[in-house]
Amino acid sequence: MGGGGRTGTVPGMDSDVIVVGGGVVGLTTAVTLAEQGARVRVWSRDPAEATTSAVAGALWWPYRIEPAEEAGAWALESLRVYAELAGAPEATGVRWVPGVHADTVLDGLGAWAAGIEGLRQLPAGEVPGPYATGLAARLPLIDMPVHLAWLRARLEAAGGVVERRAVTGWEEPAAAAPVVVNCAGTAARELAGDAGVRPVRGQLVLVENPGIEEWFTAADAGATETTYFFPQPGRLVLGGTAEEGAEELVPDPVTAAAIVARCARVRPEIAGARVLGHRVGLRPARDGGVRVEAERLPGGGRLVHHYGHGGAGVTVAWGCARRAADLATG
């Protein structure tokens, strides 16, 4: 394989690439490869609706992701893709939505901020809730269940296949394809023997939307408690938490009540909204940030690592996928 085509396919193998992991990073990487002409299979332990990606609030914003310079470039590349996808929101799940990042100043952002049209500092009196500073922006907000289904359909249209299959080592996928791409998220800790991978627990509350049309966030990079709400079709997503190292997947009712209370301090009508459900996801963070690099496997195959995106996998998905695809096909 190389040059975007199928040259170099190993005789006896029916795939060019096995992508391990069926979240947004894995599916976007698989789509990128398949549309370059590779025969791709995704092996996912969980169905898409049970992945961490399905739980994501999914506002485009480079949040808690390193290395900063590369992540900013990947984010802007992805932003351009989401701008196109927002032309068909019912199909893709991507919509342009205005909102406010509280407790945030322009000077504190990276060079990527210059690529966001209309991003502006707000006067203190225009920031909702008990916050003195904030930024206003119109950004892509992604309805993840819809988007994941759309990614899968796009992959299948390009000839790719998604299979429910757990992976415990590289031998099995390496026997099925000459290239394996590791998009396993938190499972990369064991699969890649990377002790720097750690879960960051995020809990959400889904409520009936009492008429809120703008998103809001107040999420300090070092805080374990965050405040945000995202208007998604049929629901308002309230958050959240960012608990380093916590792996409990059962929603905590005390935490849920605190999330609702924090959001209601910004928009009081949230306090009376009917609760529709609770969600918990483990963001795949990594010491040193995203790992996108290739290595040789003992049998001669190529293993491309592509994990450690933390809470910003959706934000960088397309730019980062293209980098991983380059390593897979180069």
Distance CA 92, CA 181 (A): 24
**Per-residue model confidence as pLDDT tens digits over 27-54:** 999 999 999 999 999 999 988 888 888 8
For the chain, what is the mean pLDDT?
93
Distance CA 292, CA 312 (A): 15
The CATH number given to 17-329 is 3.40.50.720
Query: Going by C-beta distance under 8 Å and a sequence separation of 6 or more, which residues neighbour residue 242?
Result: 64, 200, 201, 202, 219, 223, 224, 225, 226, 283, 311
Res. 109 pLDDT band, cuts 50 70 90: very high
What is the arrangement of strands in the sheet containing 291-296, beginning at the earlier edge strand? 161-164, 40-44, 17-20, 179-182, 302-307, 291-296
Is residue 121's pLDDT more than 90?
Answer: yes
- Please state the rounded mean pLDDT for residues 11-18: 82
Spans of all domains in the chain = 17-329
The model carries a pTM of 0.94
Contacts 24+ apart (CB under 8 A), 8-13: 8/178, 9/39, 9/178, 10/177, 10/178, 13/176, 13/177, 13/178
Comparing CA positions, the residue from 183, 171, 179 lying closest to residue 2 is: 179
Polymer length of the chain? 330
**Per-residue model confidence as pLDDT tens digits over 136-190:** 999 999 999 999 999 999 999 999 999 999 999 999 999 999 999 999 999 999 9
